[in-house]
Chains A and B, each alone.
Chain A
C-alpha cells in the first residue's frame, strides 16, 4: 500500500500483523530487517497521524471556542 493512500486503520492492522508474525517466529532472517523497516515506517505513520489529528482537533476548537 502506498504511503499516500494509507489509512490509520490499515497501517495499524499491518503493524499488528508484523508483530504477531514476529512473535510466532514466522519470519525468515533474510526478511527480518525489511519487516522491521516496514514496522518502523508504519509506527511512524500512525504516530504522525495521531499527532496531526490532535492538532486538527485543537484547530477546529469545538471545545475551547464554543459558547
Chain B
C-alpha cells in the first residue's frame, strides 16, 4: 500500500500552501455572475469570460462578511448595490482562503469603484463607436415632435419613483393640459432591462399612430445604475424608433447611449414633464399671437378700405357738380353765340335791304325830274328824239310836280 493521507490531511496541507503563498490580500478583476445577501453576509459567484469566445474560463465563490459589508456600505454608499450586481465587472481586494471543510473561497475586503466606472465608460465608448459605424446615431432626430403632444408612450416601471414624479408633474400642470399616458412596464435596471426595453419599442412601433412620442423615464440613481442604458440594442431601437424619443433617466453629467440616440435628452423625469408642458404652451402662445395678428391685420385692412372709400366719395361729391357746371357754362356760351350770330345775320340782311332801297330810290324818275329834267310825251309814247316829235300833235310835258299840255297848232 503506497503512502497515503487522509482527506483532512490533504486539505490541511493545501490550506497551509495557500496561506503561505497568499499571506496578503490581492486585487482581482472579475465579473459577478451571481450575488445574494444572507443575514448581513453577501455570497457571490465570480467568473472570467474569454474575451474572444465569451466562454467562462474561470469561476470561484466569494463572500463579503458582515463587517466588511458595513465598511463598504459606508465607503461607497448608493454605489455599492450598483457594483454588487450580476454582470458587473469589478476590481476586488480579496483574501484567498482555503477551508478544509468548504474548499477554496475569496473573502472580499474592498472594492475599487473607479475600475468598474472606467470599464463602463470604455464599454459605452465602444457601443457608441459601433452605433456610429452602423449609421445608427442621429436617426431619431428626423422625427419631430408634433405641435401639440397629447398621447405619450412611456417606457418605465410603474413603481419607480421617477415615473410617479413624472406623472404627477405632467398631469398637475398649471395650464390644465391633459395627456394620455400609456405605460410600457420594464425593468429599469439589471440584466432584464435590455430585453424589456427592446420589446417595449417593438410594441410601440406597431402602434406608432397612437402616440406622439416615446419617453424613457427612470428615477435617480448612481452612475452605475444607468449602465443598462449604455447598451447597443437599446441605442439601436431608439435610433430606429419611428416616433421622437425623449429620455429622462436621472443623471447629471454624462449622457448614456440611450440619451445620445434619443431626439431629446433631459436630466430628470420632471424635466421631461416640464419640457412637454412647455412645448404645448409654446404652441398655444403662438396660436394666440397668430389670432391676435390676424384680427389686427383685418381691422387695419378694413380701416384702409374705409379711408379709400371716403376719398372716392369726396371725389364723387365734386366731379358730378363740376360736370354739370361745365355743361351749363357751355350751354350758356352756345346760347350767347347763337344770339350774337343771329343778330349779325339779321343786321347784314337789313343793310343789304337798305342799300337796295336807296339804289331803287336813286333810279326812280321822279327824283331825276326833281333835278330839272322833264319827260316829253305824245299820246302814250315818250318822245326821246326831236325827229320823233309830231308838230301837229298835243305835247305832254311831265315835271316832277305837275304834267302840262301844250297845243302846238295854236
Residues in A lying within 8 Å of B, measured CB to CB: 8, 12, 15-16, 18-19, 22-23, 25, 27, 29, 32, 36, 39, 43, 46-47, 50, 53-54, 57, 62-63, 66-67
Residues in A whose Cβ lies below 8 Å from that of B335: 39, 43
| Count of chain B residues near A, Cβ 8 A | 23
CA gap between A18 and B344 in the complex, in Å: 15
Q: Is the CB of A50 within 8 A of B338?
A: no
- In terms of DSSP, what is the predominant structure of the interface of chain A? helix
State the Cβ distance, A47 to closest chain B Cβ, in Å.
Answer: 6
CA gap between A8 and B323 in the complex, in Å: 13
Most buried by B among A8, A19, A29, A36: A19
Which of B83-91, B241-249, B310-318 forms part of the interface with chain A? B310-318
Residues in B lying within 8 Å of A, measured CB to CB: 309-310, 313, 316-317, 320-321, 324, 327-328, 330-331, 334-335, 337-338, 341-342, 344-346, 348-349
Residues in B whose Cβ lies below 8 Å from that of A50: 324, 327-328, 331
Q: Is the CB of A19 within 8 A of B316?
A: no
User: Which listed residue (A32, A57, A63) contacts B313, Cβ 8 A?
Assistant: A63
Residues in A whose Cβ lies below 8 Å from that of B317: 62-63
Residues in A whose Cβ lies below 8 Å from that of B309: 66
CA gap between A18 and B338 in the complex, in Å: 8
Q: Is the CB of A19 within 8 A of B313?
A: no
Q: Is the CB of B310 within 8 A of A29?
A: no
Q: Is the CB of B338 within 8 A of A62?
A: no
Residues in A whose Cβ lies below 8 Å from that of B346: 32
Q: Is the CB of B337 within 8 A of A46?
A: no
Q: Is the CB of A63 within 8 A of B345?
A: no
